[in-house]
Amino acid sequence: MTTQNLEPKGSSKPKKNKKLTRFELTRIIADNAIVAALYFILTVALQPLSFGAIQCRISEILTLLCFWRPDFIIGLTVGCLLANVASWSPWDLLFGTLATLLANCLIAYFSHRLLIAAVWPVLINGAIVGSELRILEINAFPLYLNMIYVAIGETIAMAVGYTLYLLLKRNKAFWAAIKPTRHSDFKW
């Protein structure tokens, strides 16, 4: 009797630790720097949309990259931190960045489908950033409206990102560029 590998194709189960070569480590650092820069540029370039009670950070589309590459948690968190320097509040440096970090970790480690991955930023940013806006009394909206407004903006960004990544599913150049370490045969 032969033993079969019961792991489904493209399983997200982590592989055994292997030592990275200098080239692989350099590639990971460079990829994260690029992702951080893209997040920063998209957030700051679209600043009127990126900050405030009613916001839609198009740069949040990039958070879904953590679904395929958990190491992008680092680049996206750094990009968010740098982008939040341009925000209206130093508290956004802490809470906004924390929300992105938490959402990225949930995307990377608690999402088996891309659709589930797209829900985490909506819930986390709606709760944390919406609460931050109310606690700091940035506007006169009640807490639940702040949460809803932030969640709506995040839903728009995630819907665009989800659609974009579904369209890129068959694009070999995209996969060659991001070099996924998991979920390469993802289901919606």
Q: Is 187 part of any domain? A: no
Residue 160: both structure tokens together: 């665009």
Share of the chain above pLDDT 90, in %: 68
Which of 9-13, 47-51, 161-165 has maximum average pLDDT? 161-165
Query: Which H or E run includes 154?
Result: helix 143-167
Higher-confidence residue of 137 and 69: namely 69
- Among 2-11, 105-114, 131-140, name the one with the lowest average pLDDT: 2-11
Structural domain total, the chain: 1
For the segment 111-132, the average pLDDT, to the nearest whole number, is 95
Q: Tell me, yes or no, whether 81 lies in a domain.
A: yes
Backbone angles phi, psi at 18, to 5 degrees: -125, 150
Domain-located, residue 30: yes
7 lies in some domain? no
pLDDT, tens only, 35-86: 999 999 999 999 888 887 788 999 999 999 999 999 999 999 999 999 999 8
For the chain, give me the number of helices (H) and strands (E)?
7, 0
CATH number at residue 99: 1.10.1760
User: What are 19's two structure tokens?
Assistant: 């030592």
- If DSSP codes are grouped into helix, strand and coil, which group holds residue 57? coil
Q: Is residue 103 part of a domain?
A: yes
Q: Is residue 140 in some structural domain?
A: yes
Q: Alpha carbon of 30 to those of 37, 68, 75, 109, 160: distances in Å?
A: 11, 17, 9, 22, 26
> Does residue 4 surpass a pLDDT of 60?
no
For residue 114, is pLDDT > 50? yes
Q: What is the pTM of this model?
A: 0.85
Task: Kindly tell me if the per-residue pLDDT of 139 is higher than 80.
Answer: no
* Helix-helix angle 90-109:72-84, to 10 degrees: 160
pLDDT at 64: 97
User: Would residue 1 count as lying in a domain?
Assistant: no
Question: Within 10 Å of residue 71's Cβ, how many Cβ atoms?
Answer: 15
Residue 151's closest CA among 185, 186, 126, 130?
126
In this prediction, residue 15 carries a pLDDT of 56
Which candidate, 117, 118, 113, 129, places its Cα nearest to that of 159?
118
Distance between CA atoms of 32 and 38, rounded to whole angstroms?
A: 10
Whether the predicted pLDDT of 102 surpasses 90: yes
Ranking 7-16, 121-130, 165-174 by mean pLDDT, the lowest is: 7-16
Per the structure, the complete domain to which residue 49 belongs is given by 22-178
The answer to the question of residue 152 being in a domain is yes
Arithmetic mean of pLDDT over the chain: 88
Q: What is the band of 92 on the pLDDT scale with cuts at 50, 70, 90?
A: confident
